[in-house]
Amino acid sequence: MFKRIDHIELVTADPERAERFYTGVLGFSVRSRDTVPGGLRLVYLDLGGTTVELLTYAEPQAPACEGSRLGYRMMALEVDDMDGALAVLRSKGIEPSWGPIRRPTYARAEIRDPDGNAIELRHWISRAS
């Protein structure tokens, strides 16, 4: 029935800045752009088959669900090498907001996008069967 995550939606106040972060720092590519009635601007970004949908509202007031974060805490990106990933991020001016922490089967760290959304970095050392 359930197959995979289709996409993650992020509301941003500065779409150009968010797009630069996700493409220039994290390596996403722009798949498509759209504007829906009412002026909602959408940018679909892809990384390894995962889609992030950046939403920007035309009106300065927030959408009706402002402050509601039900169901969203962060997205997690799997990395091949935690130390290497953090080195690349640091070279681009991005410091982890916490971590890395290391456990026998994984390492974790967290960064923030320009709007303060949490992005976990996960390096699987081994996975339980």
Confidence bin at 14 (pLDDT 50/70/90): confident
Q: How far apart are CA 77 and CA 36, in angstroms?
A: 29
- In order of their start, the domains of the chain are 1-60 (3.10.180.10), 73-129 (3.10.180.10)
Residue 42 scores a pLDDT above 50: yes
Q: Which of 103, 112, 109, 105 is nearest to 126 (CA)?
A: 105
Does the predicted model carry a pTM greater than 0.85?
no
pLDDT digits (tens, 9 = 90+) for 43-96: 999 999 888 988 888 765 545 444 433 345 678 888 999 999 999 999 999 999
Any residues with CB less than 8 A from the CB of 64 and at least 6 apart, and which?
none
